[in-house]
Structure 1
């Protein structure tokens, strides 16, 4: 069976998206899969978003394995923080007068710096890697990042059309595109700021399967193993927190079976920096620990505010995660 690893360490958000239902094994900080080195066991590796560089949770063992997988010509796909890890460096000093530099692995020749974007996006595609072969139309997905300005000499893969940047509207009279994906010279190491790239774009997903020579039998096995991986992720609060969820609470099943909507809680205040996100995150984690199914949404376009809560619940970022105010945001409240 083909093995596709998903980096599963503190600071990662492995449940944020489904990654095309492809991951079959979890790769932890020791860089091992079933007690063996990931580079010898895996056919491909996916690195999810999160705070991988800021939190400093990438061990030397894992770094060595990622570099070896790249050297062996196997595919690596890094999304958001995954791209930051694969890049040369990222300036995380968004509110600092001087840059605060975090070094990446140097596998993709780009540097990143602060640029906030939380849009649903269409992105123009460049044919510089196996992953974009035959993708003649724009790809779709979403941004939710703080350090999304990409500069460098790596081959471009995607340029995203965005509405807002750094909390301000982009001039509607002209289309605004930002560099949102690149690859190494060999085309096997891919990094992008576009979440859901494997979930929403079948050609991209199939290109990865074709690259690792997955047969129809392999694909069936991958699907079965992916269900096991998702089950493991969904039975823990956060990542390697030590807080396990023993079973799904009957409260959720009661609401599901009687056709009534679930209970909800709205948290608000009369200003910014008042602790709404902090309270929401704590409540989300506490409720999830009790076995409740927890969905999170943000009224307004900045879906980044619910990411810490989704980190604890291992929840997926849904379209209702950002409720529209005027033309800004992802989904109308009537459809949520």
Structure 2
């Protein structure tokens, strides 16, 4: 019954990237009705509530999350995302969930959590950025179907260019080997940040680095505003990384890379970590003329949140291949 509940909540689960606690849009009573209607399993709402607790779902978090209000098209967008995921799953094409994890100070700074040890590690009493060896921006790419991920740690700004280079790193190091016949990819992303729905630069670099560089059709679907925790990368990958290094200071980029590479779960999660040493410029503007030249088509429903980027001309592909070679040279795998 636990497995059946897990399957029913596949597209209706959100979670905390730090604690790993999860919540769902479905109530115990609705889940009980679904079990009876679809699977002929009769069970009370109270039993469903107990089973949800065993699966680390939290009803308290669910109530708190919904009280802040939501976008009027929230439910409609969730339905669109569900249909897209089902479509790509049916054809065996990759579905990746992407986002930037919380930035981390590198150095002897307190990291929340506790570890078994003889004596507590002494750390700085204040988290001053000026005293950090660096500020890490971990960008995660989680493969929803294979339960595998790639994390690219940047030491520069979290920009759209950095985000797309991280996604391209996933394709070059993992995606094209795991999906050798696929010609399309579905990207699930938040509505804000470096991979948000509004930044033109994110779409520009997806066109040049991924669509043109690898001949891929890129479908992007953004979660509604204020719904970032429904993005699978948050509760399926980031939460496990946070638990793995809890209570241990991230004294260097190498230590951070090692902790990410060593993260695994009973469900078989595997993660590869890479270090991106490049400096990324902030505030890159994409003029109207250049933006109109991109091969982007909006979906009929909620086109600002759902769109597809297809490969363009051979000249653009040649430029993209040049960037692929740079990625190979400048990314460091631990």
TM-score normalised by the chain length of structure 2:
0.25
**Greater relative contact order, per chain length (Cα 8 Å cut-off, separation 6+):** 2
Query: Normalized against structure 1, the TM-score is what?
Result: 0.25
Which of the two has higher C-alpha Rg?
A: 2
